[in-house]
Amino acid sequence: MRPYHPMKTVPASAREPYGTVAAIPDGSAKPSPEAVRAQLDKILASHAFRGAERPGRFLRFVVEQALGGNHLKETLVGVEVFGRKPAYDPRLDGVVRVEAVKLRSRLKAYYETEGAADSIRIDLPKGGYLPCFAALPDRPAEEIEPIEPIEKAVAVPPRRAWWTDWRAIAALLALVLPIAGYLLERKSHPRPATPDSSSIAVLPFVNLSSDKENEYFSDGLTEDLIDALAKVRGLRVVARGSAFQFKGKNPDIRAVGRQLNVAAVLEGSVQRSGDRLRITAQLSGVADGYHVWSETYDRRLADVFAVQDEISRAIVGALEVRAGGDPGRRLVQSSTQDLGAYNLYLQGRFHLNKWRPEGARKGVEYFAQAIAKDPRYAPAYTGMADCYTWLAVFGWSAARQAMPQARQAANHALELDETLAAAHVSLGYVKALYDWDWPGAEREFKRALELSPGDADIHFAYGVTYLTPLGRLDEALAEIRRALALDPLSPYKITAAGMIYTDRREYDRAVEQYRKAIELDPSFYHAYDELRGVETVRGRPEAVDAVIQAMRANFPNVDDTSVRARLAAQQGKRAEARGLVEHWIQECIRMQRPGKSCYAAQIYAGIGEKDLAFQWLDKAYAERNPLLAYAKVMPYYDSLRPDPRFGTLIKRLGLGN
């Protein structure tokens, strides 16, 4: 096989008009434009690029630009290839850099396999976006090593969705045994140069049936598999947040493995026809990208409960023997026998995971319907508790209305199932952010960690919701790092790391984390908001303006009134700042935003209006505003700390001195 040698630097041919022929590192000549276009068509029709619409569009655009003698800037690529708006700022949205890495990986894979004997090379060197072209001398056929046949890839549609009924959970039980067994066997017989051989990422399963509107259920299937595998001791399972970064992207398995530092990746698909259901799953090794194990399960929907019992006893029992656990314990456990309740629960979870107010409100509706169908369905109560909590935390509902409902739902879940780790987390949120009961919150989070030590969300909750408010920032940072080790591509957890750095007054590191989160997910509003806040605290108006412009390019109706007020105060324009704050408060009242008290206090503190700041802090305390829990550590209150009233507030919150 001819080795693939990517060019290390951008030669003249990538920077100058195509008519200038430049030498290639191996002495090859430049091919004609016709030969390059023919090679491009061949590459895009290959297995490495088949179904990969974004990389294909990226490669075709840069090739045509190079052949036309045009210069390329990252901004142009973002706008023309990835649909960014004209105000696109590559500093805040790294989509071009991220996709360029993926494109280089696909080109490398192509030339190492089916394109190994090609005489025309197209390369995208690091440091630029214009490709280089080379015409290599032909070699005798006998010198070219035969290429191993590439297994046919599973077709991945742009959207991943599938059947609305939970009955496929039975087949999931059968998926867990070979995956866990394979990984545990690798651990006892490690292969060289394999990162963390007992590690796996489960990518979202793909819908191959005619119904494309039930995406929530395919997400639920993936989450159930992640939860099931996480129960096998000795396995490291990448959390949902990172796995779902690859949703709908048909990524190269080896690239996924490198990004997540795992040894294997599980993919799958689901198809329903009449009363038949087919689930196909395949496990691939990251080292070579080849399938290690695959299986197809055909089941009759009417026999789902009998099939579930059969698979759980025969397969999960064998798994636990190999894993050294209880042979009778199931990995995928159903908390309800009502299929309709489970279906509604998954819809609620799908909407909650959107992290938007309308999603949380829809989540409450679906969880309530699930509970109506099965009043003993503990996970549905946990989901409802989380919806109410986040409605209050983000100021979408009044805390005194939402948080008692969250507490009631979490307590009910624990009455039904004390071993449900997620329910302890839900109650821990209420105790920390509403009751300000710090010993009680600690008990709940530690119990959750005891029940599920490999759950990234629990490490996140413990670090951000308990350790951070208490000012134990070294411990909080260590905890969020544990969460990121399990969920390295989660924008939410990366942003949380930035928030801890902000509270530590390590602003450069905080900015780095916020930018990283934005690069991973340009639609993640929270990262922009935190970045804007920290740049405002630092008094950097140009940086603040750049963030605001990026926000306006990605989101409608971005309100920058509070930021302009702080910047005006920093410039000595107190009257202007005061007027802007008053206008912002009136707008909050008009739009019925009940969670504005802490924000108003922070703004008044930022413009030097201490008495007004304390008035709003007293109002926040009376409202039990969840964000008040962070008063001890947030830099936005630094101007108030010398005032005795602030020390009194901290004591009232149970946060010590």
For 398-427, letters b (16+ CB in 10 Å) and e give: bbeebbebbbebbbbbbebbeebbbbbbbb
Of 158-162, 454-458, 596-600, 614-618, the range with the highest mean pLDDT is 614-618
* H-run or E-run covering 651: helix 644-652
Pick from 246, 226, 118: which is nearest to 180 by CA? 226
- Alpha-carbon distance of 290 to 225, in angstroms, equals 21
- Alpha-carbon distance of 464 to 627, in angstroms, equals 12
The answer on pLDDT for 185 being more than 60 is: no
Range with the poorest average pLDDT among 91-100, 133-142, 362-371, 459-468: 133-142
The answer on pLDDT for 188 being more than 50 is: no
Higher pLDDT, 72 or 495: 495
pLDDT of residue 428: 97
Mean pLDDT of 472-491: 93
CB 160, CB 209: distance < 8 Å: no
pLDDT of residue 137: 67
CB 44, CB 166: distance < 8 Å: no
The answer on pLDDT for 311 being more than 50 is: no
pLDDT of residue 420: 93
pLDDT of residue 571: 80
- Alpha-carbon distance of 297 to 314, in angstroms, equals 15
9 phi and psi angles, rounded to 5 deg: -130, 170
460 phi and psi angles, rounded to 5 deg: -60, -50
pLDDT of residue 498: 96
The answer on pLDDT for 460 being more than 70 is: yes
pTM (2 d.p.): 0.66
- 10 Å Cβ neighbour count for 474? 11
Rg (CA), the chain: 27
pLDDT of residue 310: 37
532-568, pLDDT tens digit by residue? 999 988 888 889 889 988 998 888 888 788 788 888 8
Average pLDDT in the chain: 77
The answer on pLDDT for 300 being more than 90 is: no
- 10 Å Cβ neighbour count for 523? 11
Of 206-220, 411-425, 517-531, the range with the highest mean pLDDT is 411-425
Mean pLDDT of 256-278: 75
pLDDT of residue 51: 73
584-625, pLDDT tens digit by residue? 888 877 776 767 888 889 888 888 899 999 999 999 999 999
CATH code reported for the domain at 166-334: 3.40.50.10610
- Alpha-carbon distance of 12 to 375, in angstroms, equals 70
Higher pLDDT, 216 or 431: 431
The answer on pLDDT for 436 being more than 70 is: yes
pLDDT of residue 73: 83
Mean pLDDT of 290-296: 65
Please give the share of the chain, as a percent, with pLDDT higher than 90: 31
The answer on pLDDT for 318 being more than 50 is: no
- Alpha-carbon distance of 311 to 177, in angstroms, equals 10
The answer on pLDDT for 190 being more than 60 is: no
pLDDT of residue 199: 77
pLDDT of residue 159: 33
Mean pLDDT of 305-328: 36
497-510, pLDDT tens digit by residue? 999 999 999 999 99
Mean pLDDT of 14-40: 59
pLDDT of residue 37: 87
pLDDT of residue 178: 52
Mean pLDDT of 254-274: 78
Mean pLDDT of 440-466: 94
Residue 380 pLDDT grade (very low, low, confident, very high; cuts 50, 70, 90): very high
Residue 197 pLDDT grade (very low, low, confident, very high; cuts 50, 70, 90): low
pLDDT of residue 249: 77
Range with the poorest average pLDDT among 32-46, 132-146, 150-164: 150-164
pLDDT of residue 558: 81
- Residue 55 makes CB contacts below 8 A (sequence gap 6+) with 49, 99, 102, 103, 106
CB 597, CB 616: distance < 8 Å: yes
The answer on pLDDT for 169 being more than 60 is: no
The answer on pLDDT for 63 being more than 80 is: yes
Domain extents for the chain?
12-143, 166-334, 559-657
Long-range (24+ apart) CB contacts under 8 A made by 366-374 are 369/344, 370/336, 370/341, 370/342, 370/344, 370/345, 371/341, 373/338, 373/340, 373/341, 373/344, 374/336, 374/337, 374/338, 374/341
Range with the poorest average pLDDT among 257-261, 296-300, 615-619, 625-629: 296-300
Place of tokens 């049936």: 209
31-53, pLDDT tens digit by residue? 888 888 889 888 888 888 877 78
Residue 395 pLDDT grade (very low, low, confident, very high; cuts 50, 70, 90): confident
Higher pLDDT, 474 or 244: 474
Higher pLDDT, 293 or 533: 533
pLDDT of residue 389: 95
Report the phi/psi class of residue 283: left, alpha or beta, with left for phi > 0 and alpha for psi in -120 to 50: beta
- Bridge partners, 266 (sequence order): 202, 283
